[in-house]
């Protein structure tokens, strides 16, 4: 068993972790068609789920006889997404209290997201939590997706903390897999099928699964993380 490591800084994902924003992506096809007065057929989400935005626009145009050019469909879909972030997307339960708690403990916090920076800033500011984060990093800015550790390492570099002293909050385990290469502590938040706090030992790293953020507040020892 290795030494006990104190977490000194946190890196947060946004979609599905801080923001309850996944619904807009889950039903974006239905939302778009509804805006045109068209009823979506059952299973549209499953069809669009593996498509790029452009591929989805082609599918919608052909299958629903939409008399608009592909670029216009893409633009209108993005406008729906933009409006959702700006005016609707709520925080996940317990987020604001957790961020305030971490701030009181002088734990530095930044964001690492694959979403648009401007939309993330707008949503977090509207929800009253933008001030807790010292910096926002996007996959576009760093030139790599979350299947690589680059965005997290850039964030850790800014924080001036070692990877083993940096906790990462994510809702997608496939993204977290890249962290294992660099000894980061992973906290996977808000999986609906997780009923309680548990620690999973994997690849000589600690992965802490949270069913809800309030479990952080209820667990005083959580920020002393033991790696096996």
Q: 32 and 15: one domain? A: no
Q: Are 102 and 82 in a shared domain?
A: no
**Tens digit of pLDDT for each residue in 62-89?**
999 999 999 999 999 999 999 999 999 9
Return the pLDDT at 187. 54
Average pLDDT, the chain: 78
Q: Is the pTM of this model over 0.75?
A: no
CATH number at residue 218: 3.40.50.1000
**pLDDT 10s digits, 185-196:** 555 554 433 323
**φ/ψ (deg, to 5) at 162:** -75, 150
Same domain membership, residue 199 and residue 154: yes
Domain extent for 153: 4-21+90-226
User: Do 101 and 214 reside in the same domain of the chain?
Assistant: yes
Are residue 116 and residue 76 in the same domain, yes or no? no
Query: At residue 15, what are phi and psi to the nearest 5 degrees?
Result: -70, 120
Residue 164 CB partners (closer than 8 Å, separation 6+): 5, 183, 184, 185, 227
Count of domains observed in the chain: 2
Which burial class, exposed, middle or buried, applies to 203 when counting CB atoms under 10 A from its CB (0-12, 13-18, 19+)?
exposed
Residues 96 and 202 both lie in one domain: yes
């Amino acid at each position: 068993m290795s030494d006990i490591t104190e977490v000194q800084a946190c890196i947060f994902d946004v979609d599905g972790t801080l923001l309850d924003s996944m619904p807009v992506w889950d039903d974006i096809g239905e939302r778009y068609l509804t805006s045109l007065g068209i009823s979506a057929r059952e299973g549209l989400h499953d069809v669009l789920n593996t498509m790029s935005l452009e591929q989805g626009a082609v599918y919608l145009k052909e299958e629903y006889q939409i008399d608009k050019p592909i670029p216009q469909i893409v633009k209108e879909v993005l406008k729906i997404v933009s409006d959702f972030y700006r005016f609707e997307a709520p925080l996940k339960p317990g987020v604001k209290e957790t961020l305030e708690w971490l701030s009181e403990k002088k734990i530095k916090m930044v964001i690492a997201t694959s979403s648009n920076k401007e939309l993330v800033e707008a949503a977090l500011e509207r929800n009253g939590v933008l001030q807790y984060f010292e910096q926002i990093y996007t996959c576009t800015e760093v030139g790599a997706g979350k299947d690589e550790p680059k965005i997290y390492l850039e964030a850790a570099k800014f924080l001036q903390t070692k990877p083993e002293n940096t906790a990462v909050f994510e809702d997608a385990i496939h993204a977290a897999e890249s962290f294992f290469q660099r000894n980061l502590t992973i906290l996977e938040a808000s999986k609906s099928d997780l009923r309680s706090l548990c620690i999973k030992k994997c690849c000589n790293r600690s992965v802490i699964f949270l069913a809800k953020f309030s479990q952080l507040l209820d667990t005083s020892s959580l920020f002393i993380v033991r790696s096996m």
